[in-house]
Structure 1
Amino acid sequence: MSLIDTLNADLKSAMKARDKAKLSVVRMLKAAVTNRQIKLGHDLNDQEALAVLTSELKQRKESLAEFQKAGRDDLVTPLQQEIKIVEHYLPQQMTEAEVSGLVNKTVASLNATSTKDFGKVMQTLMPQVKGKADGALVNRLVKAALTK
Structure 2
Amino acid sequence: MSRLIDQIKKDRITAMKSGDKEKLSTLRLLISKLEKEKVANKLTDISELSDTQAERVVVKSIKELDKEIEAYKNVNRDTLSQEAEKELLSTYLPKPLTTDELKVIVQEIATKTAESGNNIGLAMKELKATIGSRADMGAASKMLKEELNK
TM-score normalized with structure 2 length: 0.86
- Once the two structures are overlaid, the 10-residue window that deviates more, 130-139 or 23-32, is 130-139
SS at match of 1:111: helix
Deviations 1:121-141 (A, max 9, x none): 211111010121121221221
Residue 135 of structure 1 pairs with residue 125 of structure 2: no
Partner of 1:5: 6
Q: CA deviation at 1:29?
A: 0.6
State which of 100, 103, 106 in structure 2 corresponds to 1:100.
103
Residue 89 of structure 1 pairs with residue 100 of structure 2: no
Change in CA separation of 1:144 and 1:73 when aligned onto 2, cut-off 3 Å: farther
RMSD: 2.1
Q: CA deviation at 1:144?
A: 2.4
How does 1:114-129 map onto structure 2 within 5 Å?
117-129=119-131
Question: Which residue identity lines up with residue 67 of structure 2 in the other structure?
Answer: E
Question: Which residue identity lines up with residue 146 of structure 1 in the other structure?
Answer: L
Change in CA separation of 1:98 and 1:71 when aligned onto 2, cut-off 3 Å: farther
- Counting matched residue pairs gives 145
Question: Which residue identity lines up with residue 72 of structure 1 in the other structure?
Answer: N
State which of 52, 71, 84 in structure 2 corresponds to 1:66.
71
Question: Which residue identity lines up with residue 65 of structure 1 in the other structure?
Answer: E
Identical amino acids, percent of aligned pairs: 24
Question: Which residue identity lines up with residue 28 of structure 2 in the other structure?
Answer: R
Q: CA deviation at 1:71?
A: 4.4
SS at match of 1:122: helix
Deviations 1:42-101 (A, max 9, x none): 131222111111211122123323333x14341x22111111000011111111221111
